[in-house]
């Protein structure tokens, strides 16, 4: 199979043999891909500087199976560079996609959401766009969060009510005797609508999306989470 000039982003790259690179890419029409870029790490290769995370690209490749051969790569325009403080947020999302997305499963709506996320990270605080993207990622995986109604009664979520979110059921009124992720009705509705401006609500929403993603990661530890922890420790001293 030969695929010509597909919109894509590089999620991860690592050296392969002497002068090549192994790439994890996310493409608009083909989803997550494994690619080998032969000779791309050599001193004279122009691809070495092109095949970078967060850069909108057009990629061509050939082959079948889990590892195809990259045949061409070109930039589609100048990316909005991520501020130094937001690079780790971008790497966190890339690691999530590598860990959770199946190979060669087209997810064009998630691709568009990822492209928009990079624009938002370049221009604003990372937390609200990260939480919105985590919600969309869970939906793309088939594990979207129920944010509209009480899982037991079916009644609409009440902003002033307190709930426990049970991951395999949904939100339940907090005094119903169940254990789950504590969250207010205001937090559920804010995540549903993507309106994440209140810092207290944002903290609640982060607990929920992280718990839901942890369920999908099945105990696998994200390297970027460890980097976040190391980064915070000197700040708290």
Domain 84-236 indexed as CATH 3.40.640.10? no
DSSP letters, 86-111, are: GHHHHHHHHHHHHHHSPBT---HHHH
Worst-scoring range by mean pLDDT, 21-30, 60-69, 77-86, 210-219? 77-86
Give residue 232's pLDDT band: very low, low, confident or very high (50, 70, 90): low
Rounded CA gap, 175 and 73, in Å?
A: 56
User: What Cα–Cα distance (Å) separates residue 148 from each residue in 75, 171, 187?
Assistant: 41, 9, 11
The position carrying tokens 């990629």 is 59
CATH number for the segment(s) 2-75: 2.40.50.140
Given a cut of 60, whether residue 233 has pLDDT beyond it is: no
Reported as a single tens digit per residue, the pLDDT across 33-77 is 999 999 999 988 989 889 999 999 999 999 988 899 999 999 997
User: What Cα–Cα distance (Å) separates residue 29 from each residue in 1, 58, 59, 106, 146?
Assistant: 14, 12, 11, 5, 28
Q: Where in the chain is the domain with CATH 1.20.1440.120?
A: 84-236
**The pLDDT value given to residue 219:** 87
Bridge partners of 102, per DSSP, are none
Q: Where in the chain is the domain with CATH 2.40.50.140?
A: 2-75
pTM for the model: 0.92
* Mean pLDDT (whole number) for 217-230: 84
Given a cut of 50, whether residue 180 has pLDDT beyond it is: yes
Task: List, in order, residues 6 or more apart from 74 with CB less than 8 Å away.
Answer: 5, 50, 57, 58
* Mean pLDDT (whole number) for 177-189: 94
């Amino acid at each position: 199979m030969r695929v010509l000039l597909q919109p894509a982003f590089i999620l991860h790259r690592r050296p392969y043999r002497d002068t090549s690179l192994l790439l994890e890419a996310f493409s608009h029409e083909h989803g997550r891909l494994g690619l080998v870029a032969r000779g791309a790490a050599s001193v004279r290769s122009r691809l070495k500087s092109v095949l970078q995370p967060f850069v909108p690209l057009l990629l061509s490749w050939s082959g079948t199976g889990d590892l195809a051969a990259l045949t061409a790569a070109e930039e589609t325009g100048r990316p909005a560079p991520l501020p130094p403080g937001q690079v780790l947020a971008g790497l966190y999302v890339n690691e999530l996609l590598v860990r959770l997305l199946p190979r060669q499963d087209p997810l064009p709506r998630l691709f568009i959401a990822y492209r928009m996320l990079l624009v938002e990270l370049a221009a604003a605080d990372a937390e609200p766009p990260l939480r919105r993207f985590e919600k969309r990622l869970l939906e793309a995986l088939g594990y979207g969060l129920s944010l509209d109604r009480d899982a037991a009664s079916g009644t609409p979520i009440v902003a002033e009510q307190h709930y426990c979110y049970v991951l395999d059921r949904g939100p339940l009124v907090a005094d119903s005797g169940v254990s789950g992720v504590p969250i207010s009705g205001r937090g559920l509705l804010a995540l549903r609508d993507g309106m994440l401006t209140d810092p207290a609500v944002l903290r609640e929403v982060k607990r929920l999306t992280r718990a839901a993603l942890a369920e999908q990661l099945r105990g696998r530890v994200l390297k970027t989470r460890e980097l976040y922890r190391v980064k915070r420790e000197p700040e708290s001293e």
